[in-house]
Structure 1
């Protein structure tokens, strides 16, 4: 079964969609898919679907949803009804007081994203920036929009949604760090301009844009970017920019030829800079 949650929800078996139209069965399938190969206990599933105050019929209704999902799976199988029912139960199994979706994690886009992001981080640690950049780019290519955008999320799915979005931003920052460290500020400026517009309080993308602008000869615009972020932070949160970002601003203001105080401010960035070939 192929499952996509990094954008509009999609799930296919044998090339046929098995996504229910009703909200709670969709929610159930999404949660099982994100934990493919793992047993999810019935109480966990009930909490996701109905929260802390489920109806008395919750467990019975959950079993009904599982049967509905199995019928959809059966419809994709070109076998007799008895054999199809058996195979559907092999895909969505009942085990030890819970349910397990026997989908290959490699066919779930969220798992592919996590795997490639982790591979990119390992490559940075090993000093292999080419592999790191490829892994980060391939990981980000899984995304087609906001994770679980068309799924009603309970507590578990909401936590997973937040985790995935934070991981996406971290991976994106890592890829842009690589481009800047390798002397390619022009290649990321347009992307960074979009990112700071969408996330006007995000210091990381603002700092990367400041560095990229400075390195392309636009010192004044880079300084203006700091002031814009500062105004947003004060107006929205009542706080000043971080010490590291203020240090970067001073470096740009003083015309530091290598304003890398921000770029070297995390372990990942230190590893990137240590691996950059001479001449970049």
Structure 2
């Protein structure tokens, strides 16, 4: 059986492809199970469809109470087998071969391949795997909360994980914003025993002088501040004017 670019799979698989396109994974799996596997080419195509179905179904699952996808199911391994790096590598290579975009022309094959690579990224590294397992057991305290930032005043907040992706009210500027997770402050920047952190503050011209004669220095220093955006005044250099050579540079207020 030969295929061409306009028909990358056998016509007998059209029903299964239509189910996959609508993300009816359970129906698509049943369809695959009913197909005869007497032809080697059709057999290979059924395996490719099944790989897409398996990965996308597994990626919708979550590990315990965490928000992480079930990386174990994505790579078709048990959680108890995650320490077997040879098995993890073998499963990863098998799925990459089945989801190869040069051969797998079925819907969502590229999405499934991306999920497989995400699972490999976590399970293939002992440090990331250990962190994941701590979060599943509930040993990782950071998994119970998340940090977010008010986009209006840059005030950082720490909330319980259940409030992620919710509408939140900033305690500083009282404006409502979307609770999107951001990277938390480094432990070294936190002020011990207080709800404060250190940040870097600097002033700089808004543009270079046109004559190149003036020079300036960036003065970065570490400051202890409350989590409120600072306002500083900086001077913007302007071209010298023949009519008013003594005029002062324009002063403006900017957010840092």
TM-score, normalized by length of structure 2?
0.30
Structure with more strand by fraction: 2
Structure with more helix by fraction: 1
Select the structure with the greater relative contact order (CA < 8 A; seq sep ≥ 6): 1
Q: Choose 1 or 2 for highest CA Rg.
A: 2
TM-score, normalized by length of structure 1?
0.28
